[in-house]
A and B are shown apart, each in its own frame.
Chain A
Amino acid sequence: MTCEQAKPRMTDYWSLTLGEAEQKEFSAHLASCEACRSEVSRVGALWQSLDLLPLEEPSGKVRERFYEMLGAYRQGLASAETQPAKRWWTMPAWQMAAAAALLAVGLGAGYVARGNGQPPAEVSQLREEVASMRQLVALSLMQQQSASERLKGVSWSYQVEPSDTEVLNALVTTVNHDPNVNVRLAAVDALRPFTGSPATHLAARNAVVQALPKETAPIVQVALIDFLAELKERNAAPELRRLVSDPDIDSGVRKRAEWALERMQ
């Protein structure tokens, strides 16, 4: 390898993206070329120091504006889909016949709609899309690195259907594994709506029972105990008794566990 061939490979070398064969060739060249060796070390230090430049963060307005824009765009799409039918009505040759036909169709449709209680297909589709968007936002935010973003994700979970198992699973993961106490605490509260849905109530209840032995922060332990007492969840009784008899446990948590056991009887 010549110096000219080695130079464009330096950035790959610093980024550890050279292939095995190239790496060998490059190292062999460095071993025999003092000038390239010095350049790799000097410019490499500058390349690495770029990592230290502070990262700019966008303001919260960016997200707000994006979701407003997305909502407006989708509304526009929905109304654009209904427009061809309206134009058809305005054609003079069809106006009289269309008026009569529409009256008949309208009466018929009204009768049918009242009979089966189903919303129009477009409305159902729009609802599904909104639900899907809310689910996506909640799930994406809960995976963010920043605790405040994950907290926002937990708040978004209140806007999904309580039968949404994907969001429930994400909340359960948050309750069990999130390193931030405030996020875990918010996620415990966010599980409540899921205990009211036939599709998810069992999974949500079990998640609360299983989270209690793993939890170490007193404030979250108390929240879990309150939740279990509210649910009158008898499967939690052994863990509550363990907490009552554990001398190392926080006194506030112990008292709350005693109270919960009494309430369950």
Chain B
Amino acid sequence: MAEVSAGQVARLALLFERHHRALFRYFVSMSNHREQAEDLVQEVFFRMLRYRTSYDPAQSFTAWMYQIARNAGVDQVRKRSAVQVVDIDTYVDRRAELVSASAGPEESASRGQDLALLRRAMDQLPEDKREILVLSRFQGMKHEDIAEVLGCEVGTVKVRVYRAIRALEQIYFALEREKVS
């Protein structure tokens, strides 16, 4: 990014190839909306170009990128001024279809149901908890980088990640009990 910031904008292609999938997954996890997530990926890279001179090479690039991503996400929600209504059942069904076909039919069906339940639990997590879990668990970010993105202490991040997984556990088991009864 330091090179992009210094004027070699073509080097952004390298950053795009390295990070666009992770960014896309972050946005999908936060919005459950593929098209919107693709628009936001585009927006993040555009903002990187636009604000490239504000990048400080001493700062973590990942943290800077997710700061831009969060702002882009917030701006889009404001623009649309309405929360997307997600057809959760369709979404969960589609997720379940994606379960590996290599497993046997029974195992695959049971795993698919568990994963669908887990996905549903993730979707029901409050946004702040889901975000910190996504950044920590799916984006593989260090606690230090998450602290920079969220503007808090590293210790706070650890506590919040722990609380998020515990909240997920509660939702998951509540959904499981619902299914059984």
- What is A's interface to B at a CB cutoff of 8 Å? 7-12, 42-43, 46-47, 49-50, 52-59, 61-63, 65-67, 69-70, 73-74, 77, 129-130, 132-133, 136-137, 140-141, 144
B119 lies within 8 A of A57 (CB): no
> What 5 additional pairs, Cβ within 8 angstroms, besides A50-B118, A136-B14?
A43-B166, A46-B169, A66-B42, A66-B45, A137-B13
Contacts of A54 in B (CB 8 A): 95, 98-99, 115
Chain B residue, CB-CB nearest to A69: B46
Given contacts A53-B119, A54-B95, A69-B46, contact A63 B165 (CB under 8 A): no
- Judged by a CB distance under 8 angstroms, whether B37 is at the interface is yes
Q: Is the interface of B mostly helix, strand, loop or mixed?
A: helix
Contacts of A62 in B (CB 8 A): 20, 24, 38, 41-42
A11 lies within 8 A of B10 (CB): no
- Judged by a CB distance under 8 angstroms, whether B70 is at the interface is no
B165 lies within 8 A of A56 (CB): no
A77 lies within 8 A of B9 (CB): yes
A70 lies within 8 A of B13 (CB): yes
Instruction: A187 to B86: give the CA distance in the assembly, Å.
Output: 44
Chain A residue, CB-CB nearest to B32: A56
Contacts of A49 in B (CB 8 A): 114, 118
Instruction: A98 to B136: give the CA distance in the assembly, Å.
Output: 61
Instruction: A77 to B111: give the CA distance in the assembly, Å.
Output: 52
The 7 closest A-B pairs by CB, nearest first: A133-B10, A140-B17, A54-B98, A8-B158, A58-B24, A56-B28, A8-B159
A47 lies within 8 A of B17 (CB): no
Chain B residue, CB-CB nearest to A46: B169
A-B contacts, 20 listed (Cβ < 8 Å): A8-B158, A8-B162, A46-B168, A52-B118, A53-B95, A54-B99, A54-B115, A56-B28, A58-B24, A59-B34, A66-B16, A66-B20, A66-B42, A69-B46, A129-B10, A132-B10, A136-B10, A136-B11, A140-B13, A144-B17
- What is B's interface to A at a CB cutoff of 8 Å? 8-14, 16-18, 20-21, 24-25, 28, 34, 37-38, 41-42, 45-46, 49, 95, 98-99, 111, 114-115, 118-119, 122, 133, 136-138, 155, 158-159, 161-162, 165-166, 168-169, 172
Q: Is the interface of A mostly helix, strand, loop or mixed?
A: helix
Contacts of B168 in A (CB 8 A): 46
Distance (whole angstroms) from the CB of A131 to the closest CB of chain B = 9
Distance (whole angstroms) from the CB of B42 to the closest CB of chain A = 5
Given contacts A56-B24, A67-B13, A137-B17, contact A11 B34 (CB under 8 A): no
A73 lies within 8 A of B137 (CB): no
Instruction: A70 to B10: give the CA distance in the assembly, Å.
Output: 7
Distance (whole angstroms) from the CB of A130 to the closest CB of chain B = 8
Instruction: A129 to B21: give the CA distance in the assembly, Å.
Output: 25
Instruction: A67 to B28: give the CA distance in the assembly, Å.
Output: 22
Chain B residue, CB-CB nearest to A58: B24
Instruction: A55 to B100: give the CA distance in the assembly, Å.
Output: 12
Which residue of A7, A9, A11, A65 is within 8 Å of B136 (Cβ)? A11
Which residue of A52, A59, A130 is within 8 Å of B111 (Cβ)? A52
B9 lies within 8 A of A141 (CB): no
Contacts of B34 in A (CB 8 A): 56, 58-59
